[in-house]
A and B are shown apart, each in its own frame.
Chain A
Amino acid sequence: DVVMTQTPVSLSVSLGGQVSISCRSSQSLVHNNGNTYLSWYLQKPGQSPQLLIYKVSNRFSGISDRFSGSGSGTDFTLKISRVEPDDLGVYYCGQGTQYPLTFGSGTKLEIK
Chain B
Amino acid sequence: QVQLEESGPGLMQPSETLSLTCTVSGFSLTSNGVGWVRQPLGKGLVWMGTIWAGGSTNYNSAVQSRLSISRDTSKSQVFLKMNSLQPEDTGTYYCARHVGQLGDWGQGVMVTVSS
Contacts and interface: CB of A to CB of B under 8 A. Distances in A.
A99 to B, nearest CB: 6
B100 A37 contact: yes
A48 to B, nearest CB: 4
Contacts of A47: 107
Interface string A46-65: 01111100110000100000
B102 A94 contact: yes
Interface string A37-80: 10101000001111100110000100000000000000000000
Size bracket of the B interface = 20 to 34
Contact of A94 (B45, B61, B62, B108): B45
Interface of B: 35, 37, 44-47, 58-62, 94, 100-108
Interface of A: 35, 37, 39, 41, 47-51, 54-55, 60, 92, 94, 96, 99-106
